[in-house]
Amino acid sequence: MSRRRLIAANWKMNKTIAEAVVFVPPLRDALPRLSDVDLAVFPSFLGIRPVVDALQGTDVAVGAQDVYFEANGAYTGEVSAAMIRDAGGTMVLVGHSERRHVLGESDETVAKKLVAALQAGLTPVLCVGELISERDAGNARSVVERQLTTAFAAVAAALAPRTVVAYEPVWAIGTGRTASPDDAAEMHAAVRAWLSGRLGNAADGMRILYGGSVKPDNAAGLIARENVDGFLVGGASLDPASFVAIATASVTRSRR
């Protein structure tokens, strides 16, 4: 099945508002060449509204890097799904590996965030992926399946297909070490099989992104593989030229 590819920029805790906004003109210039892919950027919470305004008139989606699962209340420092929407965001990252492994988010917390995002009408990008110790022990697939099982446990079947899944092996994030196209294709096939087992045909249209040190020079080899439906790009998305180069490589390469 052919799915529109999605190339997403996760800026992490980088870019002031001014720095986020100057990313937009070079991206706008490239848009006529990128009409065959979907694009999304994930600034800091503070950057969402200014970037939405700067992108007005384009189809580039803007999202948040995290969301809290409660609707409102005494949760100092947290941001709700409704607040993200109010700022103009339409997407949200859920369970990024830095949230899980640096900031201590459990599978159960990720699950609540996924439900909150979907119920609020945001498009979640659910991030899953194994540690190097888990891969070396032969447990990569079971770890990813456990993360998927917990995340989707309380999600209504009608809402689940709106989710984008990002396979991001933790050992490849920000390390310069990328999964080989074969490793990525194998895990993406496993994720697709899991989604189909849980959701049936509704899973066919769901996009599975790869993330982990994607760069302009390795994007083409990865995007060519079955079930690699786009990228979640961290470091290489900070520079508009390299983000555009990754998106361009994703347009022009057909599947092998």
Interacting residue with ligand PEP among 212, 216, 230, 240 (CB under 6 A) = 212
Q: How far apart are CA 256 and CA 244, in angstroms?
A: 22
CB atoms within 10 A of CB 190: 19
6 exposure class (CB count in 10 Å sphere: 0-12, 13-18, 19+) = buried
Active site residue 96: yes
Mention every residue, 6+ apart, whose C-beta is less than 8 A from residue 19: none
Q: Which is nearer to ligand PEP, 68 or 210 (CB)?
A: 210
Question: Rule CB under 6 A: is residue 214 a binding residue for ligand PEP?
Answer: yes
Backbone angles phi, psi at 124, to 5 degrees: -85, 145
Residue choice 233, 244, 246, 247 for contact with ligand PEP (CB under 6 A) = 233
Nearer to ligand PEP, 74 or 102 (CB): 102
84 is a contact residue toward ligand PEP (CB under 6 A)? no
Binding-site member from 10, 123, 242, 248 for ligand PEP (CB under 6 A): 10
Contact between 124 and ligand PEP per CB under 6 A: no
State the Cα–Cα distance between residues 145 and 130, nearest whole angstrom. Answer: 10
66 near ligand PEP, rule: CB under 6 A:
no
Which residues, numbered 154-173, are part of the site for ligand PEP (CB under 6 A)? 168, 173
| Minimal distance, residue 74 CB to ligand PEP, in Å | 30
Known catalytic residue: 168? Answer: yes
Identified catalytic residue from 98, 105, 130, 168? 168
Beta bridge partners of 209: 166
Does 43 engage in binding with ligand PEP (CB under 6 A)? no
At residue 230, φ and ψ (nearest 5 deg) are: 150, -170
Q: Cα 243 vs. chain centroid, distance in angstroms?
A: 14
Catalytic residues: 96, 168
